[in-house]
Amino acid sequence: MKNEKISVMQVIDSLAIGGAERMAVNLSNMLPRSKFDIHLCTTRAEGPVESQISPDVKRLRLKRTTRLSEPRAVRDFVRYVRSHDIRIIHCHENTVFLCSIVSLCCPGVVLIWHDHFGPITRPLRLYKLGTLRVRAVISVNQKLAAWAREDLGFPAERVFFVNNFVIPRKHDGDLSLPDKTGTRIVCTANINPTKDILGLVRAMALVVREERNVQTLVIGDAKKDQFSQDYLNSVKKEITELGLEEHVVLLGTRHDVDRILATGDMAVLCSVAEGLPLALIEYGMAGLPTVATDVGQCSEVLGNGKLGLMVSPSDPEVLANAILKLVRSVPLRKELGTGFKQHCEQTYGPESNVKKVVKIYDKLLS
């Protein structure tokens, strides 16, 4: 006899700290247990976000490393789907290619692709081919939804827009941070060129020329591949050469992000490209006045610029001027932080957005 609950599997490459990874885990944790049996698959590696997974979520770890491991991964994936009667595979980002192959072997499975980044440097023909088995696309902003319709050719009734959302995390224990001096800025970002941490360092060099008592904490780390490590080293070198050791502190991966944000006076996001960044929503939930680059859906999250300061990407001088504006005005910080928090609580809370996902599941299964 088959399980009366609907078996749903979230699929993500890894559990490194990132928006797509967090959303896969958030959905796994928040989907109603009265209706769904929840599974979570990592195709390549685990990571820090694993600690946030609810104990009742069933796990599949494929541990793909090279192309030679693909046949084994497909075999193990197909066996798991069949043995657990998975009805919906909800795949995030590039896992759509592997999941499409699996769906060929399991034709009764509904395949949903959750797109977090859209057309950034993506070969269109490859994605058209890779999404042929996809029944529906969930996009994290309207631009990505339009890309799915207009470029990938999905009918409008099969493309859905669902906001990212955050779930408050609780952490115990001591909070280990540098001593706070003056205004503390927080930046939650993996250290890579897309997040433009080098640009942030250069902007801080301009800031501290005029306001010495400013400190930025960067929460996040670089991947272990050589390119990412080279970028991390270039960031560290820039900090040293500009004499910013006391003004820009790289905290690395942390599990107590919410508590760190609570110590901040303001926040910054300086990416050159984004979808709907969870970091920005977390800033809002923490009531932090924010400077953000005008990329992806950042402007919408910030109330079309009414709830924070928007700047052009890749421009350290403009970023520095916006940071200084908030550093020098406590009343402006209070006003923006309060409005941003109210907006995020109303728009990016988990309950309403999980209900949207459940409705999508129901529609596709009906």
What pLDDT does residue 67 have? 73
- Altogether, the residues listed in the chain come to a count of 366
What pLDDT does residue 17 have? 83
Question: Hey, what amino acid is at 143?
Answer: K
Walk along the chain (366 residues) in steps of 10 and give the mean pLDDT of each run.
82 92 96 98 94 96 83 96 98 96 96 86 88 96 91 97 83 78 95 97 98 97 93 98 98 91 98 90 97 94 96 98 98 98 91 95 96
**Domains in the chain: boundaries:** 6-165+349-365, 183-347
Report the run of H or E that residue 309 belongs to, with start and end. Answer: strand 309-311
CATH of 6-165+349-365, one of 3.40.50.2000, 3.40.30.10, 3.50.50.60, 3.40.920.10: 3.40.50.2000
Give residue 5's region: left, alpha or beta (phi > 0; psi -120 to 50).
Answer: beta
The residues, any chain, with a CB within 8 Å of residue 352's CB and separated by 6 or more, are none
Distances (CA, A) of 15 to 22, 49, 101, 359: 8, 5, 22, 26
The DSSP 8-state label assigned to residue 217 in this structure reads E
Report the run of H or E that residue 162 belongs to, with start and end. Answer: none
What pLDDT does residue 270 have? 98
Reply yes or no on domain 183-347 having CATH 3.40.50.2000: yes
**Cβ 167 vs Cβ 30: under 8 Å:** yes
Q: Is 193 helix (H, G, I), strand (E, B) or coil?
A: helix
Report the run of H or E that residue 298 belongs to, with start and end. Answer: helix 298-301
The residues, any chain, with a CB within 8 Å of residue 34's CB and separated by 6 or more, are none
The residues, any chain, with a CB within 8 Å of residue 85's CB and separated by 6 or more, are 2, 3, 7
The DSSP 8-state label assigned to residue 179 in this structure reads P
- Does 183-347 match 6-165+349-365 at the fold level? yes
What pLDDT does residue 224 have? 87
